[in-house]
Structure 1
Amino acid sequence: MAFLGDCVIVFVSQMLFFAGGWLFFNKELFKHYEIRHISVQLIFSATFALSVTMFELIIFEIIGVLESSSRYFHWRLGLTLLLFMVTAVIPIYICHSVIHSISFFSDKLVRILTTICWFVFLYGLWRIGEPFPLLSASHGIFTIEQGVSRISVIGVTVMAILSGFGAVNYPYTSMTYFIKPVSRNDIICFERRLALTVDMLVAKKRRIAMAAYIHNKQHTTKPRIWEMITSAVHRTSSGEDINQLKQEVYGLEELLRSVFLELNSLKNMEERQRWSQTLKGKYFNVIGHFFSVYCVYKIFMCCINIIFDRVGRKDPVTRGLEIAIHWCGFDIDFAFWNQHISFMLVGCIVVTSIRGLLLTLTKFFYRISSSKSSNIIVLILGQIMGMYFCSSVLLMRMNMPAEYRVIITEVLGNLHFNFYHRWFDVIFLVSALTTTVVLYLSRKPVPSDDSDLH
């Protein structure tokens, strides 16, 4: 009966997670599009529910919910279903949707090509293990360990790229130090330049249209030898050189684009200045300073870990409590505080990971989606989400005390956990440094050419 009750608890929570994924799909991703394929919504919601269930089981490990045997069963079942989604269901559906969009393929040919593409995907997924120290075929082929070991390479890479970008970009966008001072006079000046450029561009195009009209009118009345002479010099009787005017129009259009982008940047910066003076802006400015310190610390520690090939042996909670007890002399209940602080730490990581990924997926979807490609893009985002959360479980294991990571270690088997942490450090470092360089170059002023205004 205890096992049945545990199954009911997990099933009910999964239904709630499924409903959350369903609402997110309707209210955020597809609020501007018509839902044509209910199967896409079902796949995305099911992947979301299975992914969040992994985090739920981590929390259950810490606070002791469910029987140990039940948690082990649901760990294996959840990972098996999640791997089935990201290695079979979603890739097959993506291949089928892409190939089916090609109108001249018959249904039979679509099924054949979909099967071929899926086997190519599986072959590529298996070949990922060659350059990395993953499990060999001697550990079995269709096992949880093999699937997680290969999926996690992609997931850890995505996670490290997003983490490196966020660690640098968040302080940059929230701290007032990086807000370039903009006065109202600067904006008015650029608005006048924009209006002047538009007026000049309209005048040039009007002259081209008038010259072309005169040229066409003369074309019907002049003899053919005169047409050949005027077309050779491309100059009308009014003295307008159409080629020269077109070159000037091209230069003004480039200048107009440059002035518009600069004006838009100044207005965005002015909006950031007003926002930074609000209570929310001041709060995010303080948080940004903490994140800037964290970014520097994380980059430094990544360099140390890479150079000395070092991986942490103890989770930060256990290490912090040991320092408080043995070095600072605090008389505290180690087991009690270890459990409760670990629960709060993991809970914060779970909430921020889910929120951060969903916000990133939403921004990415709005940037590249269209009415025709929206379903395929949602499936790709669902694939990334499944890989991301599967890898999060693997990396989050290091943030848990040793007594709470036993079942996770048993389920994941003989994975090379240290490799994934080193790989995360390498990709995080590259992503953070690349983001820093890009943001630095984007802040450098680009001189604009005003020669066309004179």
Structure 2
Amino acid sequence: MIAATLIVIISQILFFAGGWVFFVKQLFRDYEVHHSLVQLLFSITFSLSCFMFELIIFEIIGFLDASSRYFHWKLTIYAMLFMLIVILPFYTGYFIINNIRFIKKYLIKPFAVLSWLLFIYLFWKIGDPFPILSPKHGIFSIEQGISRVGVIGVTLMALLSGFGAVNYPYTSMTHFMRVVTRGDISALERKLLQTFDVVAMKKKRITLIEKEQNSLSVPSSIWNSILKSVSSQGHENITQLKRDCLALEELTRQLFLELVDMRTMQQRIEWSKTLKGKYFHFVGYFFSLYCIWKIFISTVNIVFNRVGKVDPVTRGIQIAVNYIGLDIDVKFWSQHVSFLLVGIIVISSIRGLLITLTKFFYAISSSKSSNIIVLVFAQIMGMYFVSSVLLMRMNMPLEYRTIITQVLGDLQFNFYHRWFDVIFLLSALSSIGFLYLAHKQVSTGDR
């Protein structure tokens, strides 16, 4: 028992260190996320998220006693809900209000409390439209928190999964790459330089006209009207020249962005010719088939209100035994294949989410907003991983999901799987439409 407790403590320390060193110190170092509390909250959320996945592995391999696993599940879920419902929303509101200049310092904490109460109200009301929970549970039960976190997290997971299932083949397969030659880039570079020259000439002309107007003197009243008319004509010329400059500067921005896209596409084409690029092109075929199959099966599930009752591992082994006639140890292979499948899902989920959050962070972060964005990302990460556990339960054989079901409580698990299918289908179809229009627009522009 002592050895098991030490393993749990050591794993928590390692997960916390991973969140602190690799994500706080590396990802956020260029955006002045130096607030120790923000770094601490992000690392704790990351540690709790990873530990939930570790507990799933413990369920499959039978590590620790059942009572010990149940205790650690309860403790981890309560700690995660406390972070997601109390700590992270409060400090997110605190830092948002702290960035508002006209609010006095002594009013920041009261306003932060009010913002947290508003969050709690919205968080509670979000569960009203959904059949997610039996009304017999108390306000402070795990079921009340998990049910609402599950709606938000499953929605987020389905949106990311739908977009990723479509976007990955689009970005990795050579069929969708825009053909860019060195001549195209050179022609665009010349056009950009010519536009810069025209802008410089017009600005020089504006400067000369303004200098001439300032140097004009009025020697007599006879020349006053003549000089006035000349000055007004010069003013009109300056106005037109300034308008031309603004239009040309906008054109240079568009040309520069197009040049960056061309160079990026040329690099992608060169990368696709390498061994690694060919590998990802091949993987793109697999994900294309997966996307088609997932859209099809989600549509079937929605139309026929169908939810799988048997996990994929058990179902696959049943097919191997009953239809193919293989003589295998069902319990042995069920455990090992489940362990492998869950491991792949865990690694891909953590990697995929963190890559996505990294891209968003670099796109929208600044020195003033970085603390807020890190806390929001911690909130999203926690909800995402809690929902992953909720949905991953269906990928485990019945004997391995017993404690998880007991800990999560009396939830409407079938609803979350149907909700995932609905959001995934909408996200995938929307992504296909958006990428089709974007690709068509680029192809039309090349002509």
* TM exceeding 0.5: yes
Shift, 1:19, TM fit: 0.7
Q: Report what 1:383 is aligned to.
A: 379
Q: Report what 1:80 is aligned to.
A: 78
Supply the AA of the counterpart residue of 2:334.
Answer: N
Find the aligned partners of 1:220 and 1:247 in 2 and give their Cα distance. Answer: 29
Change (3 A) 1:304 1:222: farther
Shift, 1:220, TM fit: 6.7
Q: Does 1:166 align with 2:155?
A: no
Q: Does 1:409 align with 2:405?
A: yes
Within the candidate set 428, 435, 445, 1:439 is matched to: 435
Bigger shift: residues 207-216 or 24-33: 24-33
Within the candidate set 36, 47, 50, 2:48 is matched to: 50
Q: Report what 1:260 is aligned to.
A: 256
Supply the AA of the counterpart residue of 1:6.
Answer: A
Contact 2:272 2:281 survives alignment (8 Å): yes
Q: Report what 2:88 is aligned to.
A: 90
| TM-score, normalising length: structure 2 | 0.94
Structure 2 counterparts to residues 246-325 of structure 1, below 5 A: 246-325=242-321
Within the candidate set 12, 18, 32, 2:10 is matched to: 12
Contact 2:134 2:410 survives alignment (8 Å): no
Shift, 1:247, TM fit: 2.8
Find the aligned partners of 2:39 and 2:27 in 1 and give their Cα distance. Answer: 10
Q: Does 1:361 align with 2:357?
A: yes
Post-superposition CA distance 1:410-431 (Å, at most 9, x none) = 1111101111111111111111
Q: Report what 2:346 is aligned to.
A: 350
Supply the AA of the counterpart residue of 1:421.
Answer: H
Post-superposition CA distance 1:303-322 (Å, at most 9, x none) = 11111111111111111111
Supply the AA of the counterpart residue of 1:235.
Answer: G
Q: Does 1:335 align with 2:334?
A: no
Find the aligned partners of 1:280 and 1:400 in 2 and give their Cα distance. Answer: 33
Within the candidate set 127, 130, 149, 1:129 is matched to: 127
Change (3 A) 1:244 1:147: same
Change (3 A) 1:342 1:183: same
| TM-score, normalising length: structure 1 | 0.93
Find the aligned partners of 1:26 and 1:125 in 2 and give their Cα distance. Answer: 28
Q: Report what 1:370 is aligned to.
A: 366
Q: Report what 1:451 is aligned to.
A: none
Within the candidate set 203, 206, 210, 1:208 is matched to: 206
Contact 2:33 2:370 survives alignment (8 Å): no
Matched residues, percent identical?
A: 57
Supply the AA of the counterpart residue of 1:93.
Answer: Y
Q: Report what 1:146 is aligned to.
A: 144
Find the aligned partners of 1:92 and 1:311 in 2 and give their Cα distance. Answer: 37
Post-superposition CA distance 1:327-383 (Å, at most 9, x none) = 111111111111100000000000011111111111111111111211111111001
Bigger shift: residues 191-200 or 338-347: 191-200
Shift, 1:59, TM fit: 0.5
Q: Report what 2:192 is aligned to.
A: 194
Supply the AA of the counterpart residue of 2:126.
Answer: I
Find the aligned partners of 1:299 and 1:184 in 2 and give their Cα distance. Answer: 39
Find the aligned partners of 1:337 and 1:219 in 2 and give their Cα distance. Answer: 98
What is the CA RMSD across the aligned residues, in angstroms? Answer: 2.0
Find the aligned partners of 2:417 and 2:372 in 1 and give their Cα distance. Answer: 31
Find the aligned partners of 1:305 and 1:219 in 2 and give their Cα distance. Answer: 85
Find the aligned partners of 2:429 and 2:217 in 1 and give their Cα distance. Answer: 63
Shift, 1:24, TM fit: 2.1
Contact 1:25 1:41 survives alignment (8 Å): no
Q: Does 1:155 align with 2:145?
A: no
SS at match of 1:207: helix
Find the aligned partners of 1:230 and 1:423 in 2 and give their Cα distance. Answer: 72
Supply the AA of the counterpart residue of 1:426.
Answer: V
Q: Does 1:326 align with 2:325?
A: no
Contact 1:306 1:425 survives alignment (8 Å): yes
Contact 1:95 1:118 survives alignment (8 Å): yes
Find the aligned partners of 1:423 and 1:212 in 2 and give their Cα distance. Answer: 66
Find the aligned partners of 2:4 and 2:177 in 1 and give their Cα distance. Answer: 52
Change (3 A) 1:136 1:127: farther
Supply the AA of the counterpart residue of 2:186.
Answer: I
Gaps spanning 5+ residues in structure 1: where?
Answer: 449-454
Q: Report what 1:66 is aligned to.
A: 64
Contact 2:32 2:370 survives alignment (8 Å): no
Shift, 1:266, TM fit: 1.6
Bigger shift: residues 79-88 or 151-160: 151-160
SS at match of 1:130: coil
Post-superposition CA distance 1:11-57 (Å, at most 9, x none) = 22111101111112344322214443111111111111111111000
Contact 1:92 1:115 survives alignment (8 Å): yes
SS at match of 1:48: helix
Bigger shift: residues 49-58 or 110-119: 110-119
Supply the AA of the counterpart residue of 1:105.
Answer: I
Shift, 1:119, TM fit: 1.2
Change (3 A) 1:219 1:329: farther
Contact 1:6 1:67 survives alignment (8 Å): no
Contact 1:154 1:387 survives alignment (8 Å): yes
Q: Report what 2:234 is aligned to.
A: 235
Q: Report what 1:183 is aligned to.
A: 181
SS at match of 1:139: coil
Contact 2:93 2:112 survives alignment (8 Å): yes
Find the aligned partners of 1:260 and 1:111 in 2 and give their Cα distance. Answer: 46
Bigger shift: residues 50-59 or 199-208: 199-208
Report the count of equivalent residues: 443
SS at match of 1:235: helix
Supply the AA of the counterpart residue of 1:78.
Answer: T
Contact 1:234 1:243 survives alignment (8 Å): no
Q: Report what 2:112 is aligned to.
A: 114
